Amino acid sequence: MSVVLNFKSHISELFSLALRQVAPDHADVAILIERPKLASHGDYACNLAMQLAKPLRKSPREIAQALIAALPKSDVIGKIEIAGAGFINLVLTEAAKQQIVHAVLHAGAGYGHIHLGMGRKLQVEFVSANPTGPLHVGHGRGAAVGDCLCNVLHAAGWNVTREFYYNDAGVQIDNLMRSVQLRCKGITPQDSSWPEDGYRGDYIADVARAYMDRETVEADDQHFTGEGDPDDEGAIRRFAVAYLRREQDLDLRAFNVEFDVFSLESQLYRDGHVENVVQQLIASGHTYEQDNALWLRTTDFGDDKDRVMKKSDGGYTYFVPDVAYHLEKWKRGFVRVINEQGADHHSTITRVRAGLQALNVGIPKGWPEYVLHQMVTVLKNGEEVKISKRAGSYVTLRDLIDEVGCDATRYFLAARHPDSQLIFDIDLAKSKSNDNPVYYIQYAHARISTVLEIWGGERLSLINADVSLLNGEYEIALLQHLIDYPQVIENAAMDLAPHHVAFYLKELAAAFHSYYNASRFLVDDEATKCARLALIAAAAQVMKNGLALLGISAPEKM
């Protein structure tokens, strides 16, 4: 029997071939293969006959019969039947399901990887925090979702570039510079002269002290030495940005997040990209002057009103450098660009896309794509935590990592749909109980590792196990979860939703724990023992693969 790595794709291909015979004029119809909600309806269902009924002017059941007759033979399909008005239900052979164990053990870390992206270039921009303070928990959610999304898209066959863009120019950086300068001169936030928009966290004092001590700081993209002169605003500005970028880098490394590219807003101005894009927009005919300001006619591209590009004081509004930045992304050859940002960036989407469309350089309408995450509420002892000793006014990412560890922080921040409000319960994340999904999943992997260690045999020998012996209720359930994993990756990549992986891993762990509690693995019968050990070894491999997509460790002992 041939080993199939992705049953859903295999069945879809079979129906695609049948469709060419039954309705060649409609061969481009999307073929939807789904897992039925009820096990009694089979392993997979196809509604293709329903879709073709209207264009072919035939009954769905008649079309379903024709499709079944035209389906190429496959040794993975055991039974096909027509249900209801014309749904086609399929049941896999028991042997096909059992062979997934061999498929997983052969593929190892590569099991579940698909070729959806075909190696095309894709960029994900995420975190992109201004260098004005420590990363807060909201940045942490963006880091977790963005990094997991990159891992998922890579597993789905995309050539992924991780990018961090930060605004090192503008009013916020001016406020940062002024705050550090005042600290350098011994003025504190308690002083009446402290500016209303000044930064008050203790970290500002740390920056000022390092600057006056002429400390050298290095980040992934920054290198600067403090001048020690409290009146040199330019030096203070550059040092403060470099210092806080280093602090952000340290936080991100503690969170197992690394970037391929760093982009600076100031560089867009220095290289003339902002001015060039403004001139291109003027030349496009989509701008006009009014009230001593330059406007972009964004209503030409679906916005509810036109937007100011250049204010009466000569400064550009914030979306203009964003347009310039994304034009540069397009020139760098990215087929897709995905921005993972906080939900407060929602208003920029239409403006940036309108600006890119107005340039008339061939950028698709829905480019770039956006994943927006909602706020995070942190609870401890049942009460909301709102401030940090370090930042003063908010909970930092490092607070969470130090409190509950990297693994739990990453899981909890990525385990729900980004568009949903998230409550981060510190007590739950620290608990060693089945209520804590991180513990529950990692404990499943550790349990398997312990069983295999007690067995003491060579794991590679399990590839030769007689998997036809895996026909018990819990074994079939676990096999089905292993079969589902490639589809989970595809769904997560298509939906830009890495939380699908988190949900799946919890279900896989539950299936294993049920099997573990109901069965013995180290039995006397050698064939049965090897078959069961092969199954749980495959389950451990898939757990490890899925946890890797979430950036979480797979411990062998707990």
Residues 324-378 pLDDT 10s: 999 999 999 999 999 999 998 888 899 999 999 999 999 999 999 999 999 999 9
Same domain, residue pair 447 and 494: yes
Q: For the chain, how many structural domains are there in total?
A: 3
Question: Mean of the pLDDT values across residues 222-235?
Answer: 90
Given 259, 283, 312, the domain boundary residue is 259
Whether 391 has a pLDDT exceeding 80, the answer reads no
Query: What is the reported pTM?
Result: 0.93
Query: Does 324 reside within a domain?
Result: no
Same domain, residue pair 202 and 105: no
Q: What is the mean pLDDT of the chain?
A: 94
Least confident of 205-214, 314-323, 498-507, 540-549: 314-323
Q: Cα separations (Å) of 2 from 8, 479, 485, 544?
A: 15, 17, 19, 25
Same domain, residue pair 20 and 68: yes
Given 238, 259, 280, the domain boundary residue is 259
Residue 511: helix, strand or coil by DSSP? helix
d(CA 556, CA 296): 58
Query: Does 367 reside within a domain?
Result: no
d(CA 263, CA 254): 21
Query: Does 73 reside within a domain?
Result: yes
Give the pair of three-digit tokens for residue 96. Answer: 């096909």
Query: Does 275 reside within a domain?
Result: no
Whether 310 has a pLDDT exceeding 60, the answer reads yes
Taking CA 396 as the corner, what is the angle to CA 394 and CA 399, rounded to the nearest 5 degrees? 120
Query: Does 34 reside within a domain?
Result: yes
Closest listed residue to residue 155, CA positions, set 119, 102, 104, 105: 119
pLDDT single digits (tens) 412-436: 999 999 999 999 999 999 999 999 9
Question: Mean of the pLDDT values across residues 83-89?
Answer: 91
Query: Does 387 reside within a domain?
Result: no
- Look up the CATH number of the domain holding residue 41: 3.30.1360.70
pLDDT single digits (tens) 237-289: 999 999 999 999 999 999 999 999 999 998 999 999 999 999 999 999 999 99
- Residue 499 lies in domain: 98-116+434-549
State the pLDDT at residue 345.
85
Query: Does 281 reside within a domain?
Result: no
Same domain, residue pair 104 and 49: no
